[in-house]
Amino acid sequence: MTARITLVCAAPTAANRAFAFPNDEPAEPKALAKMARLAGRLPHAGRIVASPALAARQTAEALGLTATIDPRLADCDYGRWKGRNLDTLQADEPDAVAEWLQNADAAPHGGESIVDLITRAAGFLTGLDAGASPVLAITHSAFIRAAIVHALGAPAGAFWRIDVAPLSLTRLSGAQGRWNLTSLEDLELRPGDGLRP
């Protein structure tokens, strides 16, 4: 039997636009208004779960979904870098930022390393029941990137080579510990209210 999960990347926040590390900001109101028009157009799921972050919960609500909160879906813990802009950090702590970008085991901010995040994502995927109803999970770009790295069996450094946009879908399927990336989709709405593939 195969486990199936659709990972929905939460609506963008001001931190996304400012290239800042997230600090549990609300989703942008314009994005939430667009999401309301997508209600009922997502893949069927027997179980809906969401990150505890405000933007993820707001995304679920805007989509008309009742989600169970799962702390394993939380964004990466960026420690003391939360809320700080990457450009400012590169000016203030160039060695720490360079170490973080080059070493997936590094956590100079005092939070989670990328390897820790990949391990957490792997644990979440391993816990999915093969053959159970499909799962829809509303989470964050970093978590989805970590899940893709795990699913593909890629080295941790591949995390930096994956882009996951807000309001996108990533579908994974797996059985007996082996996962496949089955599709990536952008949910961004055009003015005509259609889905952009």
Give the range of the structural domain holding residue 144, as residue numbers without chain letter. Answer: 3-175
Flag whether 195 is in a domain: no
Average pLDDT, the chain: 90
Q: Tell me what pLDDT residue 177 has.
A: 80
Q: Tell me what pLDDT residue 197 has.
A: 32
Flag whether 158 is in a domain: yes
Strand ranges (DSSP E) for the chain? 3-9, 47-50, 68-69, 135-139, 168-175, 178-186
Residue with the bigger pLDDT between 177 and 10: it is 10
Average pLDDT over residues 11-24: 91
Instruction: Report the C-alpha gap between 151 and 4 in whole angstroms.
Output: 12
What 8-state DSSP symbol labels residue 40? T
Average the pLDDT over each of 23-27, 70-74, 157-161, 191-195 and give the range with the smallest value.
191-195
Average pLDDT over residues 110-129: 95
Average the pLDDT over each of 10-14, 29-33, 74-78, 90-94 and give the range with the smallest value.
29-33
Flag whether 196 is in a domain: no
Flag whether 194 is in a domain: no
Flag whether 182 is in a domain: no
- Chain-centroid distance of CA 8 in Å reads 7
Flag whether 92 is in a domain: yes
Do 112 and 82 form a contact (C-beta atoms < 8 A)? no
Q: Tell me what pLDDT residue 32 has.
A: 86
Q: Tell me what pLDDT residue 188 has.
A: 60
Which long-range contacts (C-beta less than 8 Å, at least 24 apart) are formed by 174-182?
174/2, 174/3, 174/125, 174/128, 174/130, 175/1, 175/2, 175/3, 175/130, 176/130, 177/126, 179/125, 179/150, 179/151, 179/152, 180/151, 181/148, 181/151, 181/152
User: What is the CATH classification number for the domain harbouring 123?
Assistant: 3.40.50.1240
Backbone φ, ψ for residue 176 (5° rounding): 55, 40
Q: 194 falls in which pLDDT band (50, 70, 90)? A: very low
Number of domains in the chain: 1
Residue with the bigger pLDDT between 37 and 126: it is 126
Q: 195 falls in which pLDDT band (50, 70, 90)? A: very low
Residues in a beta bridge with 47: 135
Q: 33 falls in which pLDDT band (50, 70, 90)? A: confident
Query: What pLDDT digit, counting tens, does each position of 77-111 carry?
Result: 999 999 999 999 999 999 999 999 999 999 999 99
Flag whether 183 is in a domain: no
Q: Tell me what pLDDT residue 38 has.
A: 75
Stated as kind and residue range, the H or E segment containing 54 is: helix 54-62
Flag whether 170 is in a domain: yes
